[in-house]
Chains A and B, each alone.
Chain A
C-alpha cells in the first residue's frame, strides 16, 4: 500500500541545508501494523509527515495505493488526508471549544458527508467513548481524549492510521488500553503506522523500522 523509493527531504535553515531524510526505501503492505523508532533527529517525524501527506519529499517517489502523491498540490493532498488517512497525535490535538462528537465530525465536515452526527457517534462507540460524546476535551482524561482522537481518525473509514507517539502523554495502564485499541482496529484491516521511542509500545506491532540520520538502519519482525 505504501511504497517509498529513495525518499530525500532537505530543509533549508538559513544558509544551511539539512537532510532530514536521506534516501529512504520502504514498503508497507495493507493490513500491517508497523512502528518506527529512532533517536531524536533521526527523521521519524519527517517520515511520518511525508507518509501522512502533510508534506512532499524533496526527491524520490511515494506511491500510496499506487498513486504517486509526491507531486500533488496542497489541496489534492488535503483531499487524500481526508479520505485515506487518520491522524493520532501525542498531544491529542482536539479542538478545545468543541465537544467530543463535534471533534469526531470534523473530517466529515471537510468531506461533505451526510449523517455526520450518526457516523461520529458510531466511531465514538467503537472506541468506547459514547458516554463522553458531549464532553469537551478539558472535561475528560488524557486517555479518553486519545480515544476521541482515534475515533476522529477512524470516522472517514481511512485505510491508514498514522499515530505519532500516541501514548507519549499517557501512563502505562492507559497506554496499554490505547495500544490494544489500535491492535483491534488493525485486526479489522486498517493499516497502522506509529512512531514511538518505547520498545514496550513497539512490541505491540508486527514490525519495527529503525531510523538513524535520515536512513533506515535496521528492521525487526515479530
Chain B
C-alpha cells in the first residue's frame, strides 16, 4: 500500500467520522491559531517599537534637561543651552561624537489658506538631517545660513503637506505658524506609518524658532530642550556618552558626587532592553500555545486509541487479506498526522483571519501590525504534523501488533 493510497483512505475514514474528527482537532486548532496569532502580533509590535526608535536615529543619543523635579524649585525648564551643543561639537574634546543637533519642539497652529492644523514644530540645525535621517523628497532642507539669518523657512513632513495642501504643490507657498509667515522650501520623504506623528511635523531653523515661535529675544544663553548627538559608530555610543557627560558636567559646574542636571537617553540601549522584554513576552506566549498543542496531541492520542479499539475488526480483515504490520502502522500514523495537520491548517486560517482583522486598528500611538511570516506558517504546520505523528505512534503500534485471529473475532 503506497503513501498516496494510505492518505486517501485515511481521509475517507476521517471524513466519515466528521464530528469526532472535528472535536479531536480542536486542541490543535486552538494551539496553532494561538501560537501563530500571538507570535505575529508580537512581531508586529516589536517592528512598531523598533520603527519608532529607528525613526529617532540610529547611533543617536539624546541629552535633555533633567526634569524639574530632580532639579528642585528653580530653573524649571532647562539647563541645556545652545552653547552646550556647540561645545559637544568640538572634535578635540568629544572625538566619538560625529554630529550634534540642538532642537526645541513645540506644538503650534499652522494655517494655509482655509486649512489649519496643529503640528509639532521643530526648531533645529541642518545636522539633524544626518542625526535622525530626514531625506528630502522635493525642494531643500534648512541650511546653516538659514539658521544664522533666522530665516522664516520651513521643511514639512509628508503628512503635514497632505493635511494642509492636499494635492497642491507646497514649494514656495507661504504658511503661517503661530501667526508668523514662513516659506515652504522642502518636503521630507514619507517615513512610514509607525507613529502617527512620524510624518506630521515642520522643521524650521532653531534661531527662527526661538525668536518667532518661542518669543525669545536672543538665541544666546537660552535653554533648548534637547541636543541630539550622533556617535561615530554604534560601538562608540558608550564613549560618546562619557565624553558628553564630562563636558556638560564641567560646563554646568557640577561638583564630584553631585547629580547631573541633564539626562542622556541612549536609543540603542532602550531599544535592546525593549527587545529583550518583547522576546521574553514572545517566549511566554509561545509556551502557552505549546501547552495547548501538547493537550491537543494528547487528545489525538486518546481518540486514536479509541479508534484502534473500534476498528479492531477492520484491522483483522486487513491483516487477513495481507496487510503487513507496517501497512497498519502507516495507516494509523497517517491518520493521526492528517488529523493534526488539518487542525494546523484550520488554526493557521483562523490566525490569518485574526491578524488580518486586527491589522491597522489604532491601538495606542500606532496602528497594529501582525505580519504572518512564511516561517511561522512552516513551523506551525511542521509542529502540527510532528505532534500528530508523535501522538499516533503508540496507537498505531498497538494496531499493528493486533493478532489477526482475535481481531476478526472482535465484535
What is the count of residue pairs linking A and B with beta-carbon distances less than 8 angstroms? 60
In the complex, the answer to whether B327 meets A110 with C-beta atoms within 8 Å is: yes
Chain B residues packing against A (C-beta within 8 Å): 1-2, 5, 12-13, 16, 313-314, 316-327, 404-405, 408
Cα–Cα distance between A49 and B327 once the two chains are bound (Å)? 21
Please measure, in the bound complex, the distance between the C-alpha atom of A52 and the C-alpha atom of B321, giving whole angstroms.
10
Task: Show 25 A/B contacts (Cβ-Cβ < 8 Å), sorted by A.
Answer: A49-B405, A52-B320, A54-B319, A74-B325, A78-B322, A78-B323, A79-B322, A81-B319, A81-B320, A82-B321, A87-B320, A87-B321, A93-B313, A93-B316, A93-B317, A97-B12, A97-B13, A106-B317, A107-B321, A107-B322, A109-B1, A110-B323, A110-B324, A110-B327, A112-B2
Given contacts A78-B322, A82-B321, 9 further A-B contacts (CB under 8 A): A54-B320, A81-B319, A81-B322, A89-B408, A94-B317, A97-B13, A106-B318, A110-B1, A111-B322
- Report A-chain residues with C-beta under 8 Å of the C-beta of B405: 49, 54-55
The 0/1 profile, CB within 8 Å of B marked 1, for residues 92-109 of chain A is: 011101000000001101
Contact B318 A97 (CB under 8 A): no
User: Shortest distance in angstroms between A114's beta carbon and chain B's nearest beta carbon?
Assistant: 11
Q: How far is the CB of A182 from chain B (nearest CB, A)?
A: 18
Instruction: Tell me the residues in window 51-82 of chain A with beta carbons closer than 8 Å to chain B beta carbons.
Output: 52, 54-55, 74-75, 78-79, 81-82
Which B residues are in CB contact (< 8 Å) with A44?
none
By beta carbon, the residue of chain B nearest A92 is B317
Q: How far is the CA of A123 from the CA of B408 in the complex (A)?
A: 23
The total of chain A residues at the interface (CB under 8 A) is 25
Q: What distance in Å separates the Cβ of B214 from its nearest Cβ neighbour in chain A?
A: 83
CA distance A55 to B408 in the complex (A): 13
Chain A residue nearest in CB terms to B321:
A107
Q: Complex Cα distance A87/B317, Å?
A: 9
CA–CA, A170 to B317, complex, Å?
20
- In angstroms, Cα B1 to Cα A79, docked, is 12
What chain A residues lie within 8 Å of B13 (beta carbons)? 97
A156–B321 Cα distance when bound, in Å, is 10
- DSSP majority for the A interface? helix
- Within the complex, the shortest CB–CB distance from A17 to chain B, in Å, comes to 18
A78–B324 CB distance below 8 A: yes
CB of A152 within 8 A of chain B? yes
In the bound assembly, the distance between CA atoms of A74 and B404 in angstroms comes to 10
Complex: how many Å from CA A112 to CA B326?
14
Residue contact A110 to B322, C-beta cutoff 8 Å: yes
Decide yes or no whether A212 CB sits under 8 A from chain B: no
CB distance from A21 to the nearest CB of B (A): 14
Residue from the list B5, B314, B324, B408 in contact with A75, Cβ < 8 A? B324
Instruction: Tell me the complex Cα distance, A111–B321, Å.
Output: 9
Residues of B within 8 A of A87 (CB): 320-321
Q: How far is the CB of B160 from chain A (nearest CB, A)?
A: 68
Chain A 104-147 interface residues, beta-carbon cutoff 8 Å to B: 106-107, 109-112
| A79 vs B319: C-alpha distance when bound (angstroms) | 10
- Chain B residue contacts of A75, Cβ below 8 A: 324-326
Question: Which residues does chain A contribute within 8 Å of B5, judged by CB atoms?
Answer: 109
Q: How far is the CB of B114 from chain A (nearest CB, A)?
A: 75
**Does A83 belong to the interface (CB within 8 Å)?**
yes
Q: Which residues of chain A are near B317, meaning CB under 8 Å?
A: 93-95, 106
